[in-house]
Amino acid sequence: MVEIFENYEIKNESTFRIGGKVKKVAFPKSVDELIELLNKDEYEYILGNCSNVLFSSKDINKKIIITKNINKFNFERKKLYVECGARGPVVSKECKNRCLSGFEFLIGFPGSFGGMICMNASAHNQSISDTFISARVFDLAKKEILTFNKEFMEFSYRKSKILNSNYIVLDAEFELKDGTSEQIEELMTRNMEFRKKHQPSLMYGNAGSIFKNPENDSAGRLLDLCKMKGEKSGGAKIFENHANFILNYDNATAEDVLSLMYKMYSNVKEKYTIELKPEIKYIGDKGTKEYKLWEIITGNIQMTQK
């Protein structure tokens, strides 16, 4: 039976450690249980490890599925079969144990495979699309299971054809390359050292990069030039080592984070006429100040001065 909770404290699931009570949250433990829930057409959001999500600090009148318990994976020689809720670091370590290369970059990723496939997660000259063969997805509109190959997915930077679509990733197949344990370990160590130097640890709540990189540029570079490092709003603060990260350093609210995001967005827009696009998702109810800030940041409404 699927575990379902009402009025669930969602901050317990978020890497940001921010969020109010959600009306209903379901935790399926298998692909079959997930399909059962999706067939009911009741749930509005399907999430994995909630590593790139900002939840409203207000109570959220939504129904959410979290797939983190759908996390099995297995190997057939160089082929990897992985379920949507499996976490990147867990799979990366097992690939190293089997001397299989291609997922070294996932050693520091807090996300799960469903989301990483949708957004074509990448770092250090490696990406999900490099080793991707196919994925089984559930079509929310037609209520059927489909299989998509790499060509169909049209992968690009932080994007695939199924991002923000009616398709929900169930599981996927990858083909890795042979490597040596020493070479893989060395690359994983370099990746982790880079992350420790340039990115915050999860000791402070955060959701990874806040904004996507504009074409041929870096969001972090633009924000640094705007002198955003160390800026604060309530309990939220922009990371001193990289201006594209926001930390929950002192019981921050979603409004604190969104206020900082608005400062980041508007400063870059004013100075460079570039409108940064959020890499994180926000989940909350319309009508709140939080939601209005989000609409401004995403360009859906214009700021009116009063």
What is the rounded distance in angstroms from the CA atom of residue 119 to the CA atom of residue 125? 15
Q: Which residues contact 70 (CB under 8 A, 6 or more apart)?
A: 28, 29, 30, 31, 33, 34, 83, 84, 85, 86
Whats the size of the chain, residue-wise? 306
User: Which one of the listed residues 158, 175, 195, 275 is annotated catalytic?
Assistant: 158
Residue 87 falls in the annotated catalytic set? no
Q: Tell me the HSE value of 32 on the side-chain side, using a 13 A CA sphere.
A: 1
User: Which one of the listed residues 14, 51, 127, 209 is annotated catalytic?
Assistant: 209
For residue 300, give the amino acid letter: N
The C-alpha angle with vertex 136 and arms to 82 and 140, in degrees rounded to 5, equals 125
Q: Show the tokens assigned to 96.
A: 């190293």
Residue 279 falls in the annotated catalytic set? yes
Q: Show the tokens assigned to 224.
A: 């640094």
SS3 57: coil
Residue 158 falls in the annotated catalytic set? yes
What is the rounded distance in angstroms from the CA atom of residue 147 to the CA atom of residue 129? 16
Name the residues annotated as catalytic. 158, 209, 279
